[in-house]
Structures are given as C-alpha cells and as structure tokens.
Amino acid sequence: MEDAECSQNNNYSSIKEDLQAILKLVNAYVKVHLIKNCSYVGFVHSIDPVTHSIILSVPQEDAYQTIVIPGHAILNVTNESPPENIKPPKRKESPTHSIDDLIRRKKRLISWLKTNLLPVTELDDRIVIGNVTLLQPYNISDISTDNPIVAMQIRNVIEKMPHDYESK
C-alpha cells in the first residue's frame, strides 16, 4: 500500500453511496472516527449496505474483538498501515456442499417449514417465506429480509428442525 493511500482520509458521508469506495474498505486496516470524539482501529470485516454500519475486527493481543459501529455515528474513515506485528484476521472458509446435499437440505427445509404452517414457495434456488428469502446453502445465516423480527422468527423455526427430520 502506498503512503498516499494509507493516509487517505475518507469523509464517510461522501462515500456511503459509492459502492466501489465501500468495497475498497472491506479487509482494509482503518481508523474509524466517531461523533463522540473517539475512534477505533482495526480491519473492516464488512459494511451493511443499508445502515452503513461497519463491522470492525479490532486486534486484542492474540485474538480479535468484533465491534459493530452504527453508520450514523461514523464521521470519517482513515486508511492506516497495520503495525508489523498485526496480521489480518483469518476468515472462516465456508464448507462446500454438493448439489445433491443442497437439494436434500432444501427439500427437508421446505417440508419442515410447511409442517410449521408457513407459506413456502420455491423460486429457482431460493426458498421464499413471505418477505423472507432463504439462500443456499439454506442455513440460519442465509436468511435475507429487511425485517429483523421476522428473520429471528424464521431462524427459530429452522433451529428447531430435528437433525433426523425426514421430508414428507
């Protein structure tokens, strides 16, 4: 990383709508300046495209602390050079699923959701439950909706599915 880029100061309100600028921040080591005259330094894990909240992995001795910084509290973001002794956090590799496993999981889940009297439809490789979409590989972390309460309710139903449940 070049020095000019490392010291670049990004007024957060000006880059919120610039998807390319936001994507450049992911995995970058940054200093996030907040409205309460404080700041956090760490690696950007992800940025919520709706609220513009930043999930930051802050180095803490031999581990990382994950901090969620609300988008409305961020004044600006400054790219920094990480200290030599600090390495970026390792991302967990998601396991690869075979097509047959995905099809089986999808059928089991649809059957389970219908057993729980939910209005389930299939749309290509997605499961749709009202305004909730469940994406591959159909785990609780693959729920997509703009309503967190509904997402939590769907998550609870999925978590209650027995491991040995067979689709009907």
pTM beyond 0.75: the answer is: no
Q: Is 43 exposed, middle or buried (0-12, 13-18, 19+ CB in 10 A)?
A: buried
Each residue of 88-109: pLDDT tens digit?
Answer: 887 666 567 788 888 999 999 9
8 has pLDDT over 80:
no
- 11: its two tokens: 């007024």
Element (H, E) at 115: helix 99-115
Residue-by-residue DSSP string for 134-149: E-TT--GGGEE-S-HH
63, HSE (Cβ side, Cα atoms, 13 Å): 2
